[in-house]
Structure 1
Amino acid sequence: MRFKDKVVLITGAGVGIGRAAAVQFGKEGANVAINSLTPANGQETLKLVKATGAPAIYLQGDVSVAADAKRMVDETVKAFGRINILVNNAGIVLPGRVDNMSEEDWDKTIAVNLKGVFLVSKYTIPEMRKVGGGAIVHNASVVAIKGVKDRGAYTASKGGVWALTKAMAADYLSENIRVNSVCPGTTYTPSLERRIQAFADPEKARKDFIARQPMGRLGKDEEIAAAILFAASDEAGFMNGANIAIDGGMTI
C-alpha cells in the first residue's frame, strides 16, 4: 500500500472529490483526518473511510478561520502524532462577473479558496519539518488555466492557488516538502448538481456543462482523487511545483 502508516489531512472532505480522496487514501493504508464544515457530511465520510479499515478522525472547521485551521492541524497531530500529507481541497463556487458580483461574495470566495489554502498550509508546514518533509497537494481548477464565463472571483482565487503552488514549491524544496496542484475540469459533484438545479432549465444546464467538455462527459470524483493520490505519493517524488490539468481536454 502506497500510504501505509502515513498521516493525511484533507480539507473539504465531506463530499465530492475530497470524500473520494479520503476513501482512496484509506484503502491505501493512510491514517486519515477528514475536515468538513458540515458535520453530517464529515461524519458520513468518516464512516466510509473507517469501512476501509483505516484509522480516521473527523474535524469540523472553516478553513478561512485561522483558529479553526490551527485546531485541525493540532488535533490531527494529537490523534496520529504527525502529518505527512496535506490535501487542500476545500472550495466554493459563487458565480458572477466583476461588474455584478457583490463584494461579500468576492471576499468569501477568496477567503475560502485562497486564504484557506494559506492558513492550513501555514500551520501544517512546521509539523512536516518535524518529520523531515512531506507532500502538499492543492485542488486548483481548470479556470486557473482557461477563462470561463461568469466565474470572476472563482477564477481569481484558483489562479492564486495555481501561483501559490509555484511559490510554495520554491520555498520548501530544500526542506523536502513537495507542493503540487491538480486543476480539474468540470467534475460531477454535489456542488455542481446544486448549481445545475439553480438554473431555470436544469436539464439544459446539464447538457451545456457536458457540451463544453471535449471528451463529451463530465469528470468523476474518483478520477480527480486518483491524481491527488499520485501527486502525494513517492511515485511523484521528482514532481514539484506542477499544476496538473485533469480536464477532459478543455485546455488542449
Structure 2
Amino acid sequence: MSAPHGFDGLVAAVTGGASGLGKAIAEELQARGAAVYGLDLDAERVEAPVTGVLCDISVDSSVRAAIESVVAAAGRLDILIVNAGIGAQGTIEGNDDAEWLRVLDVNVVGSARTVRAAMPHLKRSPSAAIVFTTSIAAWSGLPERALYSASKGAVQALMLAVAADGLPFGVRSNAVAPGTADTPWVGRLLERAADPESERAALESRQPTGRLVAPQEVAEAVAYLASPGARSTNGVVLAVDGGMHSLRARPR
C-alpha cells in the first residue's frame, strides 16, 4: 500500500460516492490525502470532508457537468473511480429487453460516459489513474445473475481497452472485482428474501473465507491501484473476493 499521505495534492472523483463501496472508497482516498468529490444521484448524502456533486451517469449532460464542476472547484482531476452502477437478478429468461437496456445503459454506457468526460482532464495529470468497480460475476458463473454478469463483464473489457488507449498519455486503468460485499444493496436483497438469515448464510458460505467482503477491504485495494506508487500496475483486475474466483476450498 502507498504511504498514508501519498495522495497529497491529488484530486479524485468517485461515482456512487454516497453509499456502499463508493462511500468507503471516497473516505479512504480522502484519509490518504486526496481532495475527493463524491458524484452521486443523492449528492446531499455525501459526507464531509468528501464533497458531494450531483451526477446521473445515465445522462451524458449530467456526467459532463459533474466532471466540469470538480475541475472548476479543484483546478484539476487526477483520479477517477468508476464505481456507480445498479444490480439485476434473474436467469436469461428473467429480464425483458427494456430491463437489459436499462441496466446496460447505467453500468456499461454510464461507465463509458464518465471516462469520456474525464479523459481530457486526466491526460493533463502527472498521476492519472482510473479504477473501475467490476465484480466476481464478470469471471464466475453465478445463479440468476445473467444480466448483471453481462454488464460487469463488459465493464471489465472496457477497462482493458481504456488502459490500452491511455498508454500514450500516461493514464493508467485498472479494476477491482469484489465478491459479495456487505453493502446496503446486498442488505436490501436479503430483506426481500423469504428467509434472510439462510440467504445470508448461503452468500457467506460460497466465499472461501466464509464471510462477506467488507467495503473497507475494497477501498484499500482501490487505493493501491489509484496510488502514484502503483505506476507499473496497469490493465489489472484485482480480485477482492476472499478467494472465490481462484480457490476451490473444501465445503464447510
Residue of structure 2 equivalent to 1:171: 165
Q: Output the CA distance in 1 between the equivalents of 2:218 and 2:37.
A: 19
Residue of structure 2 equivalent to 1:46: 47
One-letter amino acid of the structure 2 residue matched with residue 10 of structure 1: V
Matches within 5 A, 1:1-252: 1-38=5-42, 42-47=43-48, 50=49, 56-132=50-126, 134-252=128-246
Q: Output the CA distance in 2 between the equivalents of 1:37 and 1:208.
A: 32
Are 2:45 and 2:52, in contact at CA under 8 Å, matched by a contact in 1?
no
Identity %: 35
Structure with greater proportional helix content:
1
Output one character per residue of 1:51-105: Cα deviation in whole Å (capped at 9) or x when no partner: xxxxx42111211210111011100001101100000000111101221212222
- Structure 1 stretches of 4+ with a deviation exceeding 4 A read none
The 10-residue stretch of structure 1 (95-104 or 231-240) with the greater mean CA deviation from structure 2:
95-104
Unaligned runs of 5+ in 2: 247-252
Q: Output the CA distance in 1 between the equivalents of 2:157 and 2:88.
A: 21
TM-score, normalised relative to structure 1? 0.93
Q: Output the CA distance in 2 between the equivalents of 1:19 and 1:65.
A: 22
Unaligned runs of 5+ in 1: 51-55
**Aligned-residue CA RMSD (Å):** 1.1
3-state SS of paired residue (1:182):
strand
One-letter amino acid of the structure 1 residue matched with residue 25 of structure 2: A
Q: Output the CA distance in 1 between the equivalents of 2:110 and 2:47.
A: 22
One-letter amino acid of the structure 1 residue matched with residue 163 of structure 2: A
Output one character per residue of 1:101-146: Cα deviation in whole Å (capped at 9) or x when no partner: 1222211211111111100100100011233451000000011111
Q: Output the CA distance in 2 between the equivalents of 1:114 and 1:223.
A: 24
Output one character per residue of 1:32-67: Cα deviation in whole Å (capped at 9) or x when no partner: 1111112xxx334323xx1xxxxx421112112101
Q: Output the CA distance in 2 between the equivalents of 1:227 and 1:133.
A: 17
Q: Output the CA distance in 1 between the equivalents of 2:209 and 2:22.
A: 23
Q: Output the CA distance in 1 between the equivalents of 2:214 and 2:127.
A: 31
Q: Output the CA distance in 1 between the equivalents of 2:242 and 2:184.
A: 19
